[in-house]
Structure 1
Amino acid sequence: MENSGTSSFPRTRRLESCFNASSRLSVKETPKIPAKELGSKLRANMHLDEVGWGSVLLSWIRVVICFATMMITTFVWALIMLALIPWPYERIRQGNIYGHVTGRLMMWILGNPIKIQGAEFSNKRAIYISNHASPLDIFLIMWLTPTGTVGIAKKEIIWYPLFGQLYVLANHLRIDRSNPTAAIESMKQAARAVVENNLSLIIFPEGTRSKNGRLLPFKKGFVHLALQSGLPIVPMVLTGTHLAWKKGSLNVRPAPLTVRYLPPISTNDWTADKIDGYIKMIHDLYIKHLPESQRPLVVEDPRNGSNS
């Protein structure tokens, strides 16, 4: 594995979500694409090359080995954390070690070349955010976020077989998204837990996985948490994962992956009346650092010159 920052290291965490209403983003900086050219550009960016049955079979074997390995490590760390029930912070630490070990093993088994950039920003106490377009993002986040990091997921994660129970045992945070009032109260509790225990957070600000790798609008939850915790925000820009493992497929291609940490963004002087502006600023930062194939599309209708 290559690392253009500091040396590589084992890191953390699984995460799924970010919450609250989507911000109203304008991405005028994104190149406008005439509708008649959209189809050809999409085909060019999808890299739908033919692969032999041998490559597909090897990929399936690797995926099966990955999930078998994850089941084993999850079971082992579940036993460890059951023994540590009286010590909540130690369970967080063990959850991070589980993520370091499991995430690194997953990426080693799959064999994709990985380049890490900006590693000097990877061990700060912060709110780490990441774009999300592939299951590989989960493995990378588990491995590459620092010890003392917790994730935030919907409360229903407890019903996910084995992994959900491990998530709860690891003392990670859950939010109630059943209604806006419950979600806001859950965020306040999460922020208090992070401040009181000197923790970091990891969040996918899009709130869901992109189906085609292109960046989705950001939701507001991570900014509310920054306002309440005072933590800086460290963007993690993942590229190539949507090409390596596409949604609905078990064929993991050997596409090169890049994880780039951007410098921390201070939130000390942020105010609640400028939330939409902060979200747009960070969303635009991702647009700047993502390749064209992962930027949001702004389609221009040639009939009237308007955006669709």
Structure 2
Amino acid sequence: MILKYIRLAITALLIAIFATLWAIICIFRPAHPGNTFVIARIFGYIGKFILGLKVEIEGKERLENTKGSVIISNHQSNYDMFYVGVICPRKTVSVGKKSLLYIPFFGLMYWLSGNILIDRGNRKKAWNVMDKVVETIKKYNCNIWIMPEGTRSKGRGVLPFKKGAFVTAIKGKFEILPIAVSSFDKWVDLTRWNSGTVKLSVLEPINSDGHTLDSLNELKDKAHQLISDEVLRLDQSY
């Protein structure tokens, strides 16, 4: 148990240091679509080393040279940033809750890096933000990473998906790239020196062409089923 708290303390300290330094750098190139890739990789590799995580990735080649895509993945805990950071493609920004802005050190860095904040408590503003997301992808030919559950599942399986990611894909005619992550709570124990393995699977892209807002739920349910099934498969492969 002591090892776990030591790890968390070191990780929090490094996040504060790197987030502050990167926020200063981002002041000179705010909202640049390349910002997130750099800090994601820093957090990813340093975080997984300190936490004793091993990360295995299937289908990584599908992320190579991907541009103009809506990337979606299941959202389990605050640890997501460490294994997601390892595979974050270049020119990728994410959509996160507005409340992230108020996290000391991290929040300012997250915003200055060009990630998009959404106020889920205000439905009208949230939908307007999704229009901004479409514009951002087209303007910079970048990817948007969204965790469509909208909240951490904390071991409850893959929660129902919200609509935002799929509205974005349909409006912009972007492909959806699903990524499944094995159940963190089942296979990782931070009290051990080698805490465990997180398995990620990058699935075949889903084409949004032919879908309209009227068929949004069909697209959303298809993506949810694909990720849910793949999480189950990954869990059974241990």
TM more than 0.5: yes
CA distance in 2, matches of 1:176, 1:136: 22
Answering whether residue 71 of structure 2 is matched by residue 128 of structure 1, we say yes
Q: For residues 66 and 225 of structure 1, do their structure 2 counterparts lie closer, same or farther at Cα, with a shift above 3 Å needed?
A: same
> In structure 2, what is the equivalent of residue 22 of structure 1?
none
> In structure 2, what is the equivalent of residue 205 of structure 1?
148
Q: For residues 209 and 199 of structure 1, do their structure 2 counterparts lie closer, same or farther at Cα, with a shift above 3 Å needed?
A: same
Is the contact between residue 70 and residue 146 of structure 2 (CA under 8 Å) also seen in structure 1? Answer: yes
Answering whether residue 63 of structure 2 is matched by residue 106 of structure 1, we say no
Answering whether residue 159 of structure 2 is matched by residue 159 of structure 1, we say no
Is the contact between residue 96 and residue 118 of structure 2 (CA under 8 Å) also seen in structure 1? Answer: yes
> In structure 2, what is the equivalent of residue 58 of structure 1?
3
Equivalent position SS for 1:103: helix
> In structure 2, what is the equivalent of residue 191 of structure 1?
134
The 4+ residue runs of structure 1 with deviation greater than 6 A are 292-295
> In structure 2, what is the equivalent of residue 266 of structure 1?
207
Equivalent position SS for 1:290: helix
1:83: how far off? 2.7
Is the contact between residue 15 and residue 106 of structure 2 (CA under 8 Å) also seen in structure 1? Answer: no
- Which amino acid counterpart does residue 90 of structure 2 have in structure 1? T
Answering whether residue 179 of structure 2 is matched by residue 230 of structure 1, we say no
Is the contact between residue 232 and residue 264 of structure 1 (CA under 8 Å) also seen in structure 2? Answer: yes
Deviations 1:95-137 (A, max 9, x none): 3201111211100111122211001112312111111112221
CA distance in 2, matches of 1:235, 1:185: 24
Equivalent position SS for 2:53: coil
Answering whether residue 84 of structure 2 is matched by residue 84 of structure 1, we say no
**Between Structure 1 and Structure 2, how many residues are aligned?**
233
Structure 2: unaligned runs, 5 residues or longer? none
Equivalent position SS for 2:79: helix
Equivalent position SS for 2:9: helix
> In structure 2, what is the equivalent of residue 116 of structure 1?
57
> In structure 1, what is the equivalent of residue 111 of structure 2?
168
> In structure 1, what is the equivalent of residue 218 of structure 2?
277
Which structure has greater helix proportion?
Answer: 2
Equivalent position SS for 2:76: coil
1:244: how far off? 4.9
> In structure 2, what is the equivalent of residue 20 of structure 1?
none
Is the contact between residue 96 and residue 116 of structure 2 (CA under 8 Å) also seen in structure 1? Answer: yes
Is the contact between residue 161 and residue 220 of structure 2 (CA under 8 Å) also seen in structure 1? Answer: yes
Is the contact between residue 214 and residue 293 of structure 1 (CA under 8 Å) also seen in structure 2? Answer: no
User: Pairwise mapping of residues 66-77 of structure 1 onto structure 2 (< 5 A)?
Assistant: 66-77=11-22
- Which amino acid counterpart does residue 125 of structure 2 have in structure 1? A
The structure with the largest alpha-carbon Rg is 1
TM-score w.r.t. the length of structure 2 is 0.89
TM-score w.r.t. the length of structure 1 is 0.70
CA distance in 2, matches of 1:266, 1:155: 29
1:184: how far off? 1.4
Is the contact between residue 240 and residue 255 of structure 1 (CA under 8 Å) also seen in structure 2? Answer: no
> In structure 2, what is the equivalent of residue 257 of structure 1?
198
- Which amino acid counterpart does residue 145 of structure 2 have in structure 1? I
1:293: how far off? 10
Is the contact between residue 213 and residue 294 of structure 1 (CA under 8 Å) also seen in structure 2? Answer: no
> In structure 2, what is the equivalent of residue 4 of structure 1?
none
